Amino acid sequence: MGTKSPFSQEDLNDIFKVSPTNPERVVSRESGILEFKEAFNWGGIAKYLKTSASFANAKGGYIVFGIADKPHRLCGLSGASLQMFDEFDPERLSRHFNEHFAPEIEWDIQRYELQGKKFGLLYIHEAKDKPVICTRDAGKDKELKEGDIYYRYRGRSERVKYPELRAMLEAKRENEQRLWMQHLANIARVGVHEVGIFDLHTGCVTGASGSFLIDESLLSQLSFIKEGEFSEVKGKPTLKLIGHVESLSGAASGFTRKQVVKTKGIRIGDILLGALEQQTVPEPDDYIRQVCYESSAFLPVYHFMKKAGMNPTQTIAMLDGVVSRSVTRTKLIERLKDGKTQWLSLPRGGKAAAEKKRNFMDALRNKSVSSGLSKDDLESCLQAMRGLSAEEVKANSKYLRGLLKSWVNKHYVSADGALAGNLRRAICWVDEALNMEALP
């Protein structure tokens, strides 16, 4: 595409924005660029085509399969619906688009896994040549009607209204004027007597000194030529070019066949539990990148750096290439550059709060802390854990990681900002104590 993928991790995070109070729901809403479908079924193709055309005539957009409507529940694809999507035939969808709409609709497809559930995403690019018009009726209730132009209005796909149609036609006129000026500029540069015109439909090349015809067998080998046939070629060509076409070194030849790309989503829970359980994940660098899209830079990264065989300098170089709207990426890079840890120097005064934390430190050393602490006690215990030395963390690693894992599972989704922050920073300190010195 030459531009950012429509399935970048940042875009996927925006689509699958999980509710902070209910991990089974997304807070994202259907909009001018987003449509949810609970299941995928070729029987509903007319509706998918209508939505696709409406996106193409607007700003492009996503159809997401596996999210229920009202409320937007993360149900995922399953059974026959999942099997149909897994066995998706891109050529079949292209055929439907070409049979029902003109000009061509460009699209991409992705299968995404999140929280163990599988989702399908169809992305429709904004059309370069608008309007995209329905050329054939389809659907049981004539969902598609020949001659209709569809447009995306907020969360609905409808027949285009006059203001949007007028804007499309004006944009089309302006684009044609721009192309004419480009062609005229090229003619002036080459010279009017040296320029030929290549008819993409007939293969005829005409110029001031005559014309020639590119043989159909050769024409079909040119990847930038649409399929067609010679018809009504006016005038006898003075030259007929025959032969074959070879792609230049490094250049792609022919059309690239579309395939369903499969990716797996990574969220805060995966990062926290992956580090606490010391998981060997397939692509640990992806876990580090994902931190850039989260709300906090204080998440465990050193475990994943160790698994990826990366030192801080290499990790920073990798993060420099991550595109993210969040400031988290910058803060994570600063954290890695500084090399500061989340170890906490606890006060030694006689105040009750300080004494409470020191008592928790002793209890952690003796492995006698209950996992069922109240919120206030839990925050004090988490700060006390950050007061342990790196040697003490290593000596009690399994016990401390087990406590943190139980608290993440029990409290993190519903925790307020203070408790969630204390949990993240305590996990960061354990991660740093266990892994920083082991980096290459």
Gap between the Cα atoms of 106 and 111, Å rounded: 18
Contact in structure between 118 and 25 (CB atoms under 8 Å): no
Place of tokens 């307020």: 416
Q: What is the reported pLDDT for 189? A: 87
* Alpha-carbon span 171 to 307, nearest angstrom: 52
**pLDDT values of the chain reduced to their tens digit, one per residue, 440 residues:** 345 678 888 889 899 988 878 889 999 999 999 999 999 999 999 999 999 999 999 999 999 999 998 789 999 999 999 999 999 999 999 999 999 999 999 999 999 999 889 999 999 999 999 999 999 999 888 899 999 999 999 889 999 999 999 999 998 899 888 888 988 888 888 887 788 887 766 777 787 777 777 666 555 555 444 433 333 344 444 445 555 555 444 444 444 456 777 778 888 989 999 999 999 998 899 999 999 989 899 999 999 999 999 999 999 999 999 888 889 999 999 999 999 999 999 877 668 888 999 999 999 999 999 888 998 899 999 999 999 999 999 999 999 999 999 999 999 888 899 999 999 999 999 999 999 999 98
Please give the Cα distance from 346 to 191 (Å, whole number).
81
DSSP 26: B
CB 12 within 8 A of CB 261: no
Task: Give residue 216's pLDDT.
Answer: 61
What integer pLDDT is reported at residue 215 of this predicted model?
Answer: 64
R_g of the chain, CA atoms, integer Å: 30
Report which of 96, 168, 172 is spatially closest to residue 139, judged by C-alpha positions: 96
Q: Starting at the edge strand that comes first in sequence, how are the strands of the sheet with 239-241 ordered? A: 196-198, 204-207, 210-214, 239-241
pLDDT of residue 198: 76
b/e map of 43-67 (b: 16 or more CB within 10 Å)? eebbbbbbbbbbbbbbebbbbbbbb
Say whether 30 sits in a helix, a strand or coil.
coil
Q: Could you tell me which residues come within 8 angstroms of residue 317 by beta carbon, excluding any fewer than 6 positions away?
A: none
Q: How far apart are CA 427 and CA 373, in angstroms?
A: 17
Check: CB of residue 332 under 8 Å from CB of residue 297.
yes
- Measured at the CA of 369, the angle between CA 298 and CA 429, to 5 degrees, comes to 20
Please name each of the domains of the chain with its CATH number.
9-159 (3.30.950.30), 169-231 (no CATH), 268-438 (no CATH)
DSSP single-letter state for residue 192: T
The continuous run of DSSP H or E covering 426 comes out as helix 417-435
Is the Cβ–Cβ distance between 305 and 438 less than 8 Å?
no
Q: In angstroms, rounded to a whole number, what is the distance separating the alpha carbons of residues 318 and 324? A: 13
Question: What are φ and ψ of residue 265, in 5° steps?
Answer: -75, 145
Per-residue pLDDT, 175? 84
Q: How many CB atoms lie within 10 A of CB 272?
A: 22
Does this model's pTM top 0.75? My answer is no
- pLDDT value of position 231: 38
Q: In this structure, what are the phi and psi dihedrals at residue 61, rounded to the nearest 5 degrees? A: 175, 180
Give residue 187's identity as a one-letter amino acid code.
Answer: I
One-letter amino acid for residue 372 of the chain: G
Please give the torsion angle defined by the CA atoms of residues 153, 156, 158 and 161, in that order, rounded to the nearest 10 degrees: -20
